[in-house]
Structure 1
């Protein structure tokens, strides 16, 4: 009697023609950090032109393009979400997804700031909606993280986006005359940022991040820059000066280690370079350092669109979703 032979597992034949994916079914949240940086560049340009006494029309044109791009990307993600709500939880499980979704709602706050001079009522609605959605995303992602072991949820720079990102809304709030809200956002987020900086420094002493994740270190600059801007706008000059000095130290540290940070070459995580750079340029303008702000803005005017273009190219080619493990509806 012959011994029983192993039968290979049978698989169904591949579909022919292959099934066409629905539009935006795998929209990658990782596109939003670079878009946030582009909106921030427009806001910095508006502030810089005003500081020099020039007409702000060129900045308004740039902001119109940036706001339209944010609206298109947000619409694309809402289309994906409408097909299957579970993609939200799946995107929040991966680092690029968590950071991207936080940047999306922060982008809404930045767009609200851009709209204040031209459409204050629309800006007010967008600001409130963005703050509420950002709160919901922060709570949801925190609850998901609580289910993991401490080893599986280390503090990373992206925590600034989720827990401190509310501070972006303070800029629009000041423009709308909501000083109480802006002050509340400032004083509530400062302790959170300090805690994240301290935890990150403790982790960095024990183990440096791997090369692909090092660009995220640039995110540490954004809270200091935003605090300096908001505090200056609210008249808290001492606080503004202190955080501007901290931001300067962080920027110098990033520049000194730029070669080490970019050792892995371009990745979608390079979007993390964009919004801190724009935020720090705005902080310099807000604190009266006009020529330093101009120099940094000019550098950002080259770097930020280049990173945005590369990111959008990857999205259009369909490879950004694969590179960042975006969920599919």
Structure 2
């Protein structure tokens, strides 16, 4: 007797959903504004101040500087509103942004841009500029304390010194750009002395790390930040009336710049990324420093550097802000969402 074979049960095909898209659409306005928008804005503010420095020389083009600064101040105000919409909804999102390196660099640049904005508006509204400087210094101190606590509580491998430390712990050196013209020379000299000590410690720690291990290609761009403190020390020393000190720091900044240019192919090996914002402000700062600290040769060197910054900084800002407009920048930099 033969048995009729039972029909096999029908197997339904399993559904494997596609991976989430790189561009994520979050509900609401500005719920994932990335802090990475601020380093290129900081570079544009530094570029405008470099043009203003050149305008102080005979034959300078003052309207060019003020036009750049006016446009970038509006851009920065828009970016500031767009980012602050996040912590106004949920304050803890700031801690989440600080958990990643692009977030730490971006938030530090956001605060430092306020100090640069104060220097930009100082000729027109000294009282407002002083208020902005005070707010910027308080915000920078709070940010540095928060980052320090997060690093101490985090894993040990995450406590390494990075060039971003200059932004957080040496960034106070931007305040004398406003304080010295307003008559606060003594306070500016104290800030100069303290930040030189901190920057020296960061430089030495970074040199030691660079001698023992090679940074990964995407993070090499951050080494350009080492140029900014030396440039600002030269600028502040010149404004404070220390020409010999200014020349020393100006030559140091020039040496760092030459080393960076010589290793340019190695620094840019990973191609374009939002971290290119780290190139912008140091280049503009070195242009200003050369003009103020190195005499007549420095004026020519600074002009060349300023022309280079006039090409690089807007390009980087356009690329980064385009990524933001397309919704890609937040995903590329792991920005937090509210």
Unaligned runs of 5+ in 1: 1-7
Question: Is residue 85 of structure 1 aligned with residue 91 of structure 2?
Answer: yes
Runs of 4+ in 1 over 4 A off after TM superposition: none
TM-superposed CA distance for 1:299, in Å, is 0.8
Structure ID, larger Rg: 2
Q: TM-score when scaled to structure 1?
A: 0.93
Cα distance in structure 2, aligned partners of 1:187 and 1:143? 25
Q: TM-score when scaled to structure 2?
A: 0.91
| Contact kept? 1:52, 1:290, Cα under 8 Å | no
Unaligned runs of 5+ in 2: 1-13
Match of 1:127 in 2: 133
Please list, as runs of the form range in 1=range in 2, the aligned pairs for 1:130-145 lying within 5 A after superposition: 130-145=136-151
RMSD: 1.7
Alpha-carbon displacement from aligned partner over 1:37-85 (angstroms, at most 9, x marks no partner): 0000000000012123435122111100111111111111111111111
Structure 1's 135 and 20: CA in aligned 2 closer, same or farther, altered over 3 A?
A: closer
| Contact kept? 2:54, 2:61, Cα under 8 Å | no
Structure 1's 163 and 20: CA in aligned 2 closer, same or farther, altered over 3 A?
A: closer
Please list, as runs of the form range in 1=range in 2, the aligned pairs for 1:138-177 lying within 5 A after superposition: 138-177=144-183
Match of 1:257 in 2: 263
Match of 2:7 in 1: none
TM-superposed CA distance for 1:198, in Å, is 0.2
Match of 1:5 in 2: none
Alpha-carbon displacement from aligned partner over 1:93-129 (angstroms, at most 9, x marks no partner): 1000001101111000000000110111111111110
Structure 1's 294 and 52: CA in aligned 2 closer, same or farther, altered over 3 A?
A: farther
Match of 1:201 in 2: 207
Q: What number of residue pairs does the alignment pair up?
A: 316
| Contact kept? 1:51, 1:285, Cα under 8 Å | no
Please list, as runs of the form range in 1=range in 2, the aligned pairs for 1:1-329 lying within 5 A after superposition: 21-287=27-293, 288=295, 289-329=298-338
TM-superposed CA distance for 1:20, in Å, is 5.1
Cα distance in structure 2, aligned partners of 1:21 and 1:167? 39
| Contact kept? 2:80, 2:110, Cα under 8 Å | yes
